[in-house]
Chains A and B, each alone.
Chain A
Amino acid sequence: MTEALLVALYIFVLAVFVGFEVIAKVPTLLHTPLMSGSNAISGIAVIGAILIAGRLATPYDKILGVAAVALATINVVGGFLVTDRMLRMFRRSPAERQSPAAPRHS
């Protein structure tokens, strides 16, 4: 096993635990936006897509590259935008809503 692979495995396993910790206490209220937000982050495949689209030469590979970038970009752009659209609608009771400039209290 190469050292680079070993480091990559360390990073992977630690990131899995960070994922568990970060998500474990999310209230039900936010599960849908959370799912679509984390879904947008999984569009990180766009990075791999960019790398293959930028370097490949044969026409077949170019089609693959463009398709991968386009699909991953839909995932990223659509995911973040629709999450924002949902979160924009979440509001507290009217009493607090009328004074959005007031300092946050509860």
Chain B
Amino acid sequence: MPQEPTRSIALVIALTYLVAAVLFIVGLKLLSSPRTARRGNAIGALGMLLAIAATLLDQQIIGFRWILLGFAIGTAAGAWLALAVKMTAMPQMVALLNGFGGAASAIVAIAEYHLLLLDPAQRATDVVVSIMATTLIGALTFTGSMVAFAKLQELMPGKAITFPLQKALNFALLAAAVGVSAWLVVDFDMPTVFTALIVISLVVGVLLVIPIGGADMPVVISLLNSYSGMAGAAAGFVLHNNVLIISGALVGASGIILTQIMCRAMNRSLTNVLFGAFGATTTAAAGDGADRPGRTVRPEDAAVMLGYARSVVFVPGYGLAVAQAQHSVKELATLLEKRGVDVKYAIHPVAGRMPGHMNVLLAEADVPYDKLYEMDDINREFDRTDVALVIGANDVTNPAARTDPTSPLYGMPILDVDHAKSVIVIKRSMNPGFAGIENELYYNEKTAMLFGDAKKMLVAVAGEISKA
């Protein structure tokens, strides 16, 4: 066997992996500023290309046919998904891709298990442990992401699905997975037990996500994103591959950070999100104040209020995305700006269905990102704002989060729209929001309710303003 060329090829591969890892870090760094983000993404893609090219040089590879087939299928499907997906569907897109990544890691571990079954000499304990960890994390990431995808795509009910002893069952299954893994570390030659590990992991993924209600999905996606990174890192321990370990760890860590940010924005702990079944338990408290009148206005009244204001802040929420009203918002804003009204957008960190989702939706409607204000910045402005126009946002505007210690929202950072001189709320009906909590804002004397579909109402208001 020619020793020298093999070693220099291994060196080239290792150094290319190092370059790829650096490119991933630089890419992620550049993704944190809107000016450089696109370049950062391209640099990350370049790193991936280099890592793949280097891997193809590996001497262990004896045939390329199957690899190329996989590339062809994956590239075609991936490109189609990326170009066809609607921006409102971005959360489920991320969930889907994430599930595929987790599945790939799990399959790598399963194939390694089969290889080591035939080759007892290669069974180092750390490799065996890593195989079990990769299988568990990868498989539960896969099914968990698929359930998240199905909920967001409305293929299954978005509400929390709960049943008695659910937590106990989940913990028992997790414990079983760990127990089975330990068994396999001691006695490797048990393919049936390994199959049981795969099945248990797949079931755990489903059970972990079904009790989580639609409003908490962003947190789950972010967490699953972290898991898929961890699965990749674990696969790196299986294959002794540093670029897998580094990239997996990067993604795992960033997913955890984003998850924390999300939880903080909703004033919830991660444990509470995962095991609290929020949507299911609080809906019962709703509906007592439905007969209280709010002050109702017509589109023409709202048009007068907005058209003669000096400063207006738009507060878009998920209802805006549901009504596909991003473009109508932009048109109304343009109309108001032509009249000399100062228009800003207030974006709550959890507006939309995933962190930063509203920013993407408004960017798609061509709203410049420097008009979008983060919560802390815009809250200082509300005192000087003539009209706050709330479009399909609910809980993130509820003053009870500041004032009522008995409210489930209490302590959640909110947009202080009630500090504006007047408030217009566009809403389908008086029904409480996703969390099922009455919003005091709607009964405030400053507040005018404009009932109807967000898009229709925005178009009607814009029509009235252009007539004037």
> A interface vs B, CB < 8 Å?
1-2, 4-5, 8, 11-13, 15-20, 22-56, 58, 60-62, 64-94, 97, 104
Contacts and interface: CB of A to CB of B under 8 A. Distances in A.
Interface stretch (B292-300, B366-374, B446-454): B366-374
B296 to A, nearest CB: 33
B105 A84 contact: no
Given A64-B111, A70-B77, A42 B251 contact: yes
B349 A12 contact: no
25 contacts: A8-B242, A12-B245, A33-B356, A33-B360, A37-B40, A40-B41, A41-B28, A41-B47, A41-B229, A42-B229, A44-B248, A45-B244, A52-B112, A53-B70, A69-B70, A69-B74, A74-B97, A77-B78, A77-B82, A78-B79, A81-B83, A84-B42, A85-B83, A89-B360, A90-B369
Contacts of A64: 107, 110-111, 114
Interface residues of B, number: 116
Given A39-B225, A65-B70, A88-B38, A32 B357 contact: yes
Interface stretch (B48-56, B164-172, B380-388, B394-402): B48-56
A92 B38 contact: no
A27 B32 contact: yes
B31 A31 contact: no
Contacts of B28: 19, 22-23, 34, 37-38, 41
A28 B356 contact: yes
Interface of B: 21, 24-25, 27-29, 31-35, 37-38, 40-42, 44-45, 47-48, 51-52, 55-56, 58, 60-64, 66-67, 69-71, 73-75, 77-79, 81-83, 85, 87, 90, 93-94, 97-98, 100-101, 103-105, 107-108, 110-112, 114-115, 124, 126, 221-222, 225, 228-229, 231-233, 235-258, 261, 347, 349, 352, 354-357, 359-360, 363-364, 366, 368-372, 374
A4 B38 CA distance: 37
Given A40-B41, A90-B37, 17 more contacts: A8-B242, A15-B250, A17-B253, A18-B253, A19-B253, A24-B257, A27-B33, A28-B359, A31-B261, A34-B32, A38-B28, A47-B51, A48-B238, A69-B70, A73-B71, A73-B75, A90-B359
